């Protein structure tokens, strides 16, 4: 180790420092007190406080009447405060102000009838306390789990939702979860409640890990922020040691590292950081003895003869040349007085033909299984040597972060088992990259890529992570898309989810939005009329916002534009069969082609005056109409049914014969004189 770099923000955060100081003041004032749960997730600090007079209780019922008790930085639910009051405890509240702010947000949200979504670790005391201040709520740990939760709860998509996040969560997890929420929920208020100190610490650790050959992270095993810190470092550095104290440091793992970084979680006291740093400085300053390289020299005849007479023992690794092949064994010249023999079945276990697996003249390495000096034969095993080599390869993969490939062979309660070149690798459920409640069986017989995270050769135990590789590959695909995206570019995508306003399509690591208006040229009401979740479709980029990470996609084929089809087929004066789709007071709208409608004005419906379009037409009627006008710019069409009808006959008043024209009773009869003046005789009226 040439250089040691220590993170600037390592150690106690404000909330933890405040709670420890309050504890020390309470002990000084009272002589002894209690802490409701471990004050912080650090055994050494808790032990030191216990020696000073603070005991840990797990429930209010364990307190003595009137005993002084400290509520830790993680906070507590309202019912806990009530229980403390009931037993007469004297409470000092050390809840972190950042956590208190979350309590206020969720309490107000619940009072307003909003559903609360909490992003965080379900069993963490901070999250458990937040839940106590909520009404209807749910806790979701990661993006995969969030997606599964929303799929199962479509009833909340349009309801008012308030989102908060555990103060020690990673920024990447929060962002991924929020992307899923924004796709489905139309009335969500998202509050970024990650502690700024936590974010700063994580960001600094990521940058430091990316520039170092190895990282040491100090923190409690049960500390959420410390665990996340180690995970973040593991994503950027192949060699990460997660320790609680100096004794756990493994110097051998730092021997090949040039630059080593050191950081610590928010619950790690300064004195532990100092101890670890001093130990690492000692390692750095140790003199490294360099052995002189040995020059190989040619062996003399006598030396070569002696080499052939050298005894061979079980377990020795040997090398030789294939000199003969039979149906049952392969003979190998080892350069000794014995002949090596390898069973043929070692080469044909997987159905491989023997002649395809090995040939005379091939050089093979194997391990000695049994020596028979009487017969001059040494039984060898290439399979065992290969297995040992694979173990070495697996061990090396932990150090250099090599991505390996294997097949999932079985599932169990805690995860799945992957066979990597014959070595059983256990992958915990949390590292499978599946949602928490997903069935592990869906991975069976699938080929997966994973990183080896832990090897214990003595116990034949190997642990790996599919999730680390998947996350890294997703990041690479995402960056590749953003680096090459352009308007009009086409992608083959998979429909991930549907909303009332469109469909979200995965185009290779990034989800883009296809608005409902871009799904079809025809009239549709729901995206599900065109696509379904899981469909593979070709889409093209309409627009994108690199800064906001948003992509608008199109699905309609430009060549299928119905207006283009209409103008190619019809012109003014053409007669077309049209379907009545809507009736209005001023006329009727008719579909000429799917996606192209025209207007038949009320005056153009019939060859006579009508009161309303419904007197003549009904939605769904198919009638012939003449195209009387086309507005190319506004894509408007005028239609006429009347133009195809015969003119209505002119109605004539009936003419009565003169003999029937007698003055009606009470009628006023005029006589016209020769000069044109008219005189009349009024009918007689009764007085």
SS (H, E, C) 369-412: EEEECCCCEEEEEHHHHHHHHHHHHHHHHHHHCCEEEEEEEEEE
For domain 313-347+357-381, the CATH class is: mainly beta
Q: Give the integer Cα–Cα distance in Å for 404 and 406.
A: 7
- What mean pLDDT comes out for the span 436-440? 83
Q: Residue 664's pLDDT is what?
A: 42
pLDDT band at 296 (very low <50, low <70, confident <90, very high): very low
Q: Which of 67, 112, 126, 307 is catalytic?
A: 126
Kindly indicate the confidence band of residue 681, based on its pLDDT and cuts at 50, 70 and 90: very low
At residue 662, does pLDDT exceed 70?
A: no
In this structure, what DSSP letter does residue 596 have? E
Q: What pLDDT, on the 0 to 100 scale, is given for residue 103?
A: 95
Q: Which residues contact 506 (CB under 8 A, 6 or more apart)?
A: 493, 494, 496
pLDDT in tens, 200-239: 788 889 899 999 999 999 988 888 888 889 989 988 898 9
* Nearest one of 322, 371, 368, 313 to 347, comparing CA atoms: 322
Whether the predicted pLDDT of 562 surpasses 90: no
409 or 15: which carries more pLDDT confidence? 409
Query: Would you say residue 131 has pLDDT above 50?
Result: yes
Intervals of CATH 2.40.50.140 along the chain = 313-347+357-381, 401-471, 485-558, 562-644
Please give the pLDDT value at position 679.
44
Is this structure's pTM higher than 0.85? no
Average pLDDT over residues 439-459: 88
Judge contact between 253 and 239, C-beta under 8 A.
yes
Share of the chain above pLDDT 70, in %: 89
CB 191: neighbour CB atoms within 10 A?
Answer: 14
- Give 650's pLDDT tier (boundaries 50, 70, 90): low
**Does residue 166 contact residue 120 with C-beta atoms inside 8 Å?**
yes
pLDDT score recorded for residue 140: 95
Q: What is the third-level CATH fold of 401-471?
A: OB fold (Dihydrolipoamide Acetyltransferase, E2P) (2.40.50)
Residue 658's CB is within 10 A of a number of other CB atoms, namely: 7
Nearest CA to 72 among 91, 44, 47? 91
Q: What is the mean pLDDT of residues 29-40?
A: 90
Query: Given this model, what pLDDT does residue 266 score?
Result: 83
pLDDT for 48 beyond 90: no
pLDDT at 25 over 60: yes
Q: Categorize the per-residue pLDDT at 356 as very low, low, confident or very high, splitting at 50, 70 and 90.
A: confident
Average pLDDT, the chain: 84
Report CA dihedral (542, 545, 550, 556) to the nearest 10 degrees: 0
Using alpha carbons only, give the angle 552, 557, 563 rounded to the nearest 5 degrees.
110
CATH 3.40.1010.20: which residues of the chain? 97-194
What is the percent of the chain with per-residue pLDDT over 90, rounded to a whole number? Answer: 37
Is 479 marked active-site?
Answer: no
Residues 6+ apart with CB under 8 A from 106: 116, 118, 130, 133, 134, 137, 162, 164
Architecture of domain 97-194: 3-Layer(aba) Sandwich (3.40)
CATH classification (class only), 14-93 = alpha beta
Spell out where 288-439 has E strands. Answer: 317-325, 329-333, 339-343, 363-372, 377-381, 403-412, 415-420, 423-428
Q: What is the pLDDT, as a whole number, of residue 324? A: 79
Specify the pLDDT at position 373.
Answer: 61
Q: Which residue has the higher pLDDT, 558 or 564?
A: 564
Mean pLDDT to the nearest integer, 77-100: 91
Residue 9 — very low, low, confident or very high, per pLDDT cuts 50/70/90?
A: confident
CATH code: domain 562-644 is 2.40.50.140
CATH class given for the domain over 485-558? mainly beta
Number of residues that this document lists for the chain: 687
The more confidently predicted of residues 437 and 487 is 487
pLDDT at res. 414: 85
Q: What is the pLDDT of residue 160?
A: 94
In tens, the pLDDT along 362-406 reads 888 888 888 876 667 888 988 888 777 788 888 888 888 889 999
pLDDT of 453 > 50? The answer is yes
Residue 197's pLDDT band (cuts 50, 70, 90): confident
């Amino acid at each position: 180790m040439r250089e040691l770099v220590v993170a600037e923000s390592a150690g106690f955060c404000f909330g933890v420092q405040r709670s420890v100081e309050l504890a020390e003041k309470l002990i000084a004032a009272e002589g002894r007190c209690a802490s409701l749960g471990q004050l912080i997730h650090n055994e050494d600090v808790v032990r030191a406080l216990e020696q000073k007079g603070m005991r840990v209780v797990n429930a209010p019922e364990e307190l003595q009447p009137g005993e002084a008790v400290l509520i830790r930085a993680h906070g507590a639910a309202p019912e806990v405060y009530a229980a403390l009051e009931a037993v007469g405890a004297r409470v000092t509240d050390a809840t972190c102000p950042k956590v208190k702010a979350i309590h206020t947000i969720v309490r107000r949200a619940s009072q307003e009838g909003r559903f609360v979504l909490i992003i965080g670790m379900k069993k963490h005391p901070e999250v458990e306390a937040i839940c106590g201040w909520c009404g209807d709520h749910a806790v979701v740990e990661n993006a995969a789990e969030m997606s599964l939760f929303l799929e199962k709860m479509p009833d909340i998509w349009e309801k008012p939702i308030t989102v908060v996040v555990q103060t020690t969560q990673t920024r990447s997890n929060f962002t991924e979860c929020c992307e899923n929420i924004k796709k489905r929920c139309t009335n969500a208020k998202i509050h970024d409640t990650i502690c700024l100190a936590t974010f700063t610490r994580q960001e600094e650790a990521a940058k430091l890990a990316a520039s170092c050959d190895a990282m040491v992270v100090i923190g409690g095993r049960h500390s959420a922020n410390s665990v996340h810190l180690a995970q973040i470092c593991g994503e950027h550095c192949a060699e990460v040691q997660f320790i609680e104290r100096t004794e756990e440091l493994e110097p051998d793992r730092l021997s090949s590292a040039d630059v080593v970084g050191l950081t610590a979680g928010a619950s790690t006291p300064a004195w532990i950081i100092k101890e670890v740093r001093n130990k690492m400085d000692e390692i750095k300053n140790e003199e490294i003895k360099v052995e002189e390289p040995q020059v190989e020299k040619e062996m003399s005849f006598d030396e070569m003869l002696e080499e052939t007479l050298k005894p061979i023992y079980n377990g020795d690794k040997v090398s030789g040349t294939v000199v003969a092949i039979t149906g049952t064994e392969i003979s190998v010249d080892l350069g000794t007085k014995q002949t090596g023999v390898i069973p043929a079945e070692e080469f044909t276990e997987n159905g491989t033909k023997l002649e395809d697996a090995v040939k005379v003249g091939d050089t093979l390495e194997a391990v000695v299984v049994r020596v028979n000096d009487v017969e001059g034969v040494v039984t060898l095993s290439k399979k065992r040597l290969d297995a040992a080599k694979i173990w070495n390869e697996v061990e090396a993969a932990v150090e250099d972060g090599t991505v390996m490939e294997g097949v999932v062979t079985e599932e169990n309660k805690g995860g799945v088992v992957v066979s990597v070149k014959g070595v059983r690798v256990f992958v915990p459920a949390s590292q499978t990259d599946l949602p928490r409640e997903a069935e592990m069986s869906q991975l069976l017989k699938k080929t997966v890529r994973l990183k080896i995270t832990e090897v214990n050769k003595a116990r034949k135990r190997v642990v790996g992570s599919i999730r680390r590789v998947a996350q890294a590959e997703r990041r690479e695909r995402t960056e590749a898309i953003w680096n090459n995206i352009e308007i009009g570019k086409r992608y083959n995508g998979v429909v991930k989810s549907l909303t009332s306003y469109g469909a979200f399509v995965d185009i290779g690591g990034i989800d883009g939005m296809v608005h409902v208006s871009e799904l079809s040229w025809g009239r549709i009401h729901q995206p599900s009329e065109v696509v379904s979740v899981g469909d593979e479709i070709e889409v093209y980029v309409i627009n994108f916002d690199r800064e906001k990470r948003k992509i608008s996609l199109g699905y309609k084929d430009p060549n299928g534009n119905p207006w283009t089809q209409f103008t190619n087929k019809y012109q003014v004066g053409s007669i077309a069969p049209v379907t009545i789709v809507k009736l209005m007071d001023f006329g009727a709208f008719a579909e000429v082609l799917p996606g192209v409608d025209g207007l038949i004005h009320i005056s153009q419906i019939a060859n006579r005056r009508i009161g309303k379009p419904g007197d003549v037409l009904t939605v769904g009627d198919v009638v012939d109409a003449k195209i009387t006008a086309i507005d190319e710019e506004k894509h408007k069409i005028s239609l006429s049914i009347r133009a195809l009808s015969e003119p209505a006959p002119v109605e004539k008043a009936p003419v009565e014969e003169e003999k029937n024209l007698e003055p009606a009773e009470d009628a006023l009869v005029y006589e016209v004189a020769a000069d044109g003046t008219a005189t009349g005789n009024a009918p007689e009226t009764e007085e």
